[in-house]
Chain A
Amino acid sequence: MREALELATWETLYMVGWSALWTVVLGLPLGVLLVVTSRGHLATVPALNAVLGAIVNIGRSLPFIILLVAVVPLTRTLAGTSIGPNAAIVPLTIAAVPFFARIVETSLREVDAGLLETGQALGASRLQIIRKILLPEALPGLVAGITITVVALISYSAMAGVVGAGGLGDLAVRRGYQGYETDITVACVIALVALVQALQSLGDFLARRLTH
Chain B
Amino acid sequence: MSSPSCQLDASCADASAPITCAEIDASSRPLLLLVVSAALWLVVGSILGLISSLTFHAPKMFADCAAMSFGRSHPAANNAFLYGFAVPAGLAVLLWLAGRIGRTKLIGAPLVVLGWLLWNIGVTVGVLGILQGENTGHEWLEFSRSASGFLLIGYVAVALAGVLTFRARKEGKLELSQWFILAALFWFPWIYSTSHLLLLIWPVRGVLQSVITWWYVNNLANVWMVLVGLAAAFYFVPKFAKAPLHSRPMGLFSFWSVILFGSWAGIPAGAPVPAWIPAVSTLGAFLSIAGILATWLNLSKTLCLADRHAQRSLSETFIPFGVKVFPVAALLGVLAQPAGVSGLLNFTWFLPAQQQLLVYGFYGLVLMGALHFMVSRLAPVADPKPMFAFLHFIGCAGGVVIFFLALACGGVAQGGVMNDSTVPFLNVVKGTLMWIRLSSLGELLMILGNLLFLLNVVLAVVRFLKVSMESFMAENAKPAGVRA
Q: Are A and B interaction partners?
A: no
